[in-house]
């Protein structure tokens, strides 16, 4: 590969790289964005101007001093939503995709200890869609920091080796996930052993949890394809739990995967006890900011801060689809099959704030009606205006209908004779606004 530096300023170096194998030129920006949000936004604009018209194969790599979601930060205060939204908007406008990473999740740390430790993923590599399509095998490694507060990132490719020689590349398109038809056949339920927990609970060797004084103890629950076990936060009960899991393994000839297991403590458990029991069980301690199956572990005082990642996840999906240059029909299918499915997954477990749901809806609407470059928008009038198709005298607003719909659709609407009565709910609601069989 040949490299030639084009220009540089205080926060970037712009150079061209020629790939002789594929006979293409890359436009590469090595950047270091400022930590001040006002300066950073001006650097966003400058970067967008540099990328505009610079060719289809683009890469922006370096320290962005920003994160795309709260998942990319651990410890300290939550990142302001405006900072996250601004960075995601920059990525969306630039039509770039994140190459992801392997190894450690975070690339920066304040190098403090215990409760004062803060870690973030500030360094990354963003590329254009055409670049990603040409190099599907490329991965990003987070290397050891070697004493620095940042760790280096290495962009490499993973070829298939045949007789020790590079033969080609492959990129898996998908894997088995929760809900796939094959998933139930990859797991089994061992019906003969759950009573061990019950027997140990009866002998007070393992104590579950109670949601009230009148309720029985709960020693274990099955959620999705996982098992959730409960016990007191002391060494004796944890050792008894280990014995039960070992008995399960001996009986089933299966082994518990500790790398995919975690432990969670109540908020009043001292930190020293948490660390001791986590080391005893040989599983990582799940913190407040960690998630279980994509769901938040603890809902604190601020529900908005606890569930803002739901909006971030939907936004990241929509930005990825926008860069894929989908047609209108493809957008509709993906919004229903993926965007709505993500939201329904969270709503099946939590009741989200109405304001958050409205923002997510606005994000989906913006994705559906949005535009890119000189692409023409389709959202001509406000939705509320579009819904008011009748005059006060219950006659159609012909001009509005003919402007808003095609000729054939407008003709069908105007052929409908409006009723003389105002629209009303046929099925009444209860005082709390919920439809039930009783209210009907």
Of 17-31, 36-50, 178-192, 195-209, the poorest mean pLDDT is in 178-192
Which has the closest alpha carbon to 65: 123, 141, 126?
Answer: 123
Query: Residue 317 CA to chain centroid, in angstroms?
Result: 8
CA atoms within 13 A on the CB side of 2: 9
Task: Considering only residues 368 and 170, tell me which one the structure prediction assigns the higher pLDDT.
Answer: 368
Q: What are all long-range contacts of 47-54, with beta carbons under 8 Å and residues at least 24 apart?
A: 47/12, 47/90, 47/94, 48/90, 48/93, 48/94, 50/12, 50/14, 51/27, 51/94, 54/27
Asked if the model's pLDDT at residue 387 lies above 60, the reply is no
Backbone angles phi, psi at 13, to 5 degrees: -125, 125
Residues whose CB is less than 8 angstroms from the CB of residue 214 and which lie 6 or more positions away in sequence, other chains included: none
CA distance readout (Å), 285 to 24, 108, 220, 224, 320:
47, 21, 19, 21, 32
User: What's the Rg (C-alpha) of the chain?
Assistant: 28
Q: pLDDT averaged over the chain? A: 77
Among 2-11, 260-269, 414-423, top mean pLDDT goes to 2-11
Average pLDDT of the segment spanning 196-222: 69
Of 91-100, 198-207, 402-411, the poorest mean pLDDT is in 198-207
Query: 287 pLDDT band (50/70/90 cuts)?
Result: low
pLDDT single digits (tens) 177-208: 444 443 333 333 333 344 455 555 556 667 77
Please state, in angstroms and rounded to a whole number, the distance separating the CA atoms of residues 153 and 122: 11
Which has the closest alpha carbon to 409: 434, 430, 433, 389?
Answer: 389
pLDDT single digits (tens) 392-401: 777 888 888 8
pLDDT single digits (tens) 296-335: 766 766 777 777 778 888 877 777 665 556 777 777 777 7
Q: Which two tokens stand for residue 338?
A: 């993926």
Please state, in angstroms and rounded to a whole number, the distance separating the CA atoms of residues 132 and 123: 18
Q: Where are the domains of the chain?
A: 2-168, 183-289, 293-379, 380-440
- Indicate the pTM of the whole model: 0.46
pLDDT single digits (tens) 119-176: 999 999 999 999 988 888 788 888 887 778 888 888 876 554 444 455 555 444 444 4
Of 10-19, 189-198, 224-233, 401-410, the poorest mean pLDDT is in 189-198
> Could you please report the per-residue DSSP string of 109-129?
E----GGG--EE--EEEEEEH
Predicted pLDDT at 175 = 45
Task: Considering only residues 16 and 339, tell me which one the structure prediction assigns the higher pLDDT.
Answer: 16
Average pLDDT of the segment spanning 14-37: 89
CA distance from start to end of the chain: 73
Backbone angles phi, psi at 407, to 5 degrees: -60, -40
Task: Considering only residues 341 and 378, tell me which one the structure prediction assigns the higher pLDDT.
Answer: 341
Asked if the model's pLDDT at residue 223 lies above 60, the reply is yes
Asked if the model's pLDDT at residue 349 lies above 90, the reply is no
The stretches of 253-339 forming alpha helices (DSSP H) are 271-281, 303-323, 328-334
Average pLDDT of the segment spanning 205-220: 76
Query: 90 pLDDT band (50/70/90 cuts)?
Result: very high
Task: Considering only residues 411 and 204, tell me which one the structure prediction assigns the higher pLDDT.
Answer: 411
Q: Which two tokens stand for residue 124?
A: 């990354």
Which has the closest alpha carbon to 338: 362, 309, 367, 314?
Answer: 314
Of 3-12, 81-90, 114-123, 152-161, the poorest mean pLDDT is in 152-161
CATH fold for the domain made of 2-168: Deoxyribonuclease I; Chain A (3.60.10)
């Amino acid at each position: 590969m040949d490299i030639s530096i084009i220009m540089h300023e205080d926060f970037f170096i712009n150079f061209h790289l020629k790939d002789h194998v594929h006979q293409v030129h890359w436009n590469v920006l090595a950047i270091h964005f400022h930590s001040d949000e006002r300066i950073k936004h001006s650097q966003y604009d400058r970067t967008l101007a540099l990328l505009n018209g610079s060719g289809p194969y683009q890469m922006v790599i370096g320290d962005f001093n920003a994160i795309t979601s709260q998942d990319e930060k651990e410890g300290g205060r939550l990142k302001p939503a405006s900072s996250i939204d601004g960075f995601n908007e920059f990525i969306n406008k630039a039509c770039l995709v994140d190459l992801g990473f392997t190894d450690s999740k975070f690339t920066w740390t304040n190098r403090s200890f215990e409760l004062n430790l803060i870690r973030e993923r500030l360094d990354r590599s963003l590329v254009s869609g055409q670049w990603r399509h040409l190099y599907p095998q490329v991965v990003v490694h987070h290397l050891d920091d070697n004493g620095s507060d940042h760790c280096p990132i290495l962009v490499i490719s993973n070829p298939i080796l045949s007789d020790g020689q590079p033969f080609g590349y492959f990129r898996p398109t998908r894997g088995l996930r929760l809900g796939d038809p094959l998933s139930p056949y990859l797991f089994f339920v061992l019906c003969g052993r759950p009573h061990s927990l019950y027997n140990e609970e009866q002998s007070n060797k393992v104590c579950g949890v109670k949601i009230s004084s009148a309720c029985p103890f709960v020693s274990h629950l099955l959620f999705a394809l996982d098992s959730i076990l409960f016990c007191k936060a002391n060494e004796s009960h944890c050792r008894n739990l280990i014995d039960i899991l070992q008995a399960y393994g001996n009986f089933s000839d299966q082994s518990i995967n500790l790398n995919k297991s975690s432990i969670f403590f109540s908020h009043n458990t001292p930190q020293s006890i948490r660390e001791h029991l986590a080391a005893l069980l040989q599983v990582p301690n799940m913190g407040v900011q960690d998630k279980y199956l994509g769901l938040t572990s603890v809902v604190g005082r601020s529900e908005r801060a606890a569930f803002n990642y739901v909006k971030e996840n939907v936004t990241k999906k929509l930005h990825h689809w926008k860069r894929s240059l989908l047609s209108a029909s493809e957008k509709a299918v993906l919004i229903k099959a993926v965007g709505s499915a993500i939201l329904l997954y969270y709503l099946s477990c939590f009741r989200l704030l109405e304001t958050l749901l409205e923002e997510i809806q606005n994000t989906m609407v913006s994705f559906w009606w949005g535009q890119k470059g000189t692409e023409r928008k389709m959202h001509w009038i406000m939705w509320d205006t579009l819904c008011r198709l009748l005059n006060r005298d219950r006659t159609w607003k012909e001009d509005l209908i003919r402007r808003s719909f095609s000729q054939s659709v407008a003709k069908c609407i105007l052929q409908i004779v409006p009723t003389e009565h105002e629209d009303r709910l046929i099925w009444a609601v209860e005082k709390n606004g919920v439809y039930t069989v009783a209210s009907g």
